[in-house]
Amino acid sequence: MRIRPQRLQQGDTIGIIAPSSPPNQESLERSLAFLEQLGLKWRFGKHTKTVNGYLAGTDEERLEDLHDMFADPTIKGIICAGGGYGSARYTDKIDLQLMQENPKIFWGFSDITFLHTAMGAYSNLVTFHGPMLASCVGKESFHELSAKMFQQLFEPMELHYTEAIGPLKTVTGGVVQGELVGGNLSLLASGIGTKFEVDTKGKLLFIEDVGEEPYRVDGLLNQLRMAGKLDDAVGIVVGDFSDAAPKKREVSLTLDEVFDHYLGSLGKPVVKGFKIGHCQPHFAIPLGVGAKLDADHRTLTILPGVE
């Protein structure tokens, strides 16, 4: 059993950090009104507004912010400002024992997948795959359902995903239960061969991505296949794959054909179309908790992520 962090209370202070690329500062400022609506205070990391090319500060500065927020007992949760690129550059230097000894809510997605996987493996911590402040919350497209998903941080609640949210498609039927792991497909593939590669043995694997053409998704899934990650999983939850249309190739397989090729022959439950990822609404989920995928009725049930 992974460690579930303590729930948030009205008046708690959350830390805001930029573990990867520089967030849009105007959007980040707009997102603060939402935190106020939730009854939360906030504190920026020292380097949240630092720009170092395509990175939000040096590796050491971004790592310092991450460590500071976990070590500070007045910070009750951490929400990432945005993703982009760069979290994997310092993951091998993270004090993962610090996080295990100071468990608290950690929320983000996309490039943050590398941190989720590391914390799950070495800090034994439940973390949250959800919309971030500058890249999601501060934009006009931020959806009402996306906003509601933050309530799971204040009260332990079982999450139920059905087709009331949007259409789903069963690739392979069946019902299966397991710990929910995964995240951004590109980041999961880049972790293969490192000490931070995702463990899918007996688990429900969730994948999503953005801006990857079918041939790129093909290569990423093939990487997971050859590493045994697809065979090891008990089922696959396919999230949102937006902006995936072929850009340069006149002839291409469709994304559905790619999914069917790699996931349809596994002989285990697979459902695609979940609005989890680079999309609105964005259904936020805890990683590292028990979940049940019913591919026959196209539902996903997830246990609470907080105590």
**Active site (catalytic) residues:** 110, 208, 278
Which three-class secondary structure state does DSSP give residue 182? strand
Cα–Cα separations (whole angstroms), residue 133 to 78, 151, 156, 187, 257? 11, 15, 22, 20, 34
- Rounded to 10 degrees, what is the CA torsion of 223, 229, 231, 235? -120
Torsion of CA 265, 247, 223, 205, to 10 degrees: -60
Closest of 166, 190, 202, 177 to residue 277, by C-alpha: 166
- Given a contact cutoff of 8 angstroms between Cβ atoms, the answer to whether 65 and 47 are in contact is yes
Question: For 218, phi and psi rounded to 5 degrees?
Answer: -55, -50
Amino acid in position 70? F
User: Can you point out the beta strands (E) in 191-289?
Assistant: 204-210, 235-242, 270-272, 285-287
DSSP secondary structure, 99-152, as one string: HHHS--EEEE-GGGHHHHHHHHHHT-B-EEE---IIIIITSTT--HHHHHGGGG
Collapsing DSSP states into helix, strand and coil, what is residue 203? coil
C-alpha–C-alpha distance, residues 2 and 204, integer Å: 15
Cα distance between residue 42 and residue 32, in whole Å:
8
Amino acid, res. 36? E
**Contact between residue 144 and residue 73 where contact means Cβ atoms under 8 Å apart:** no
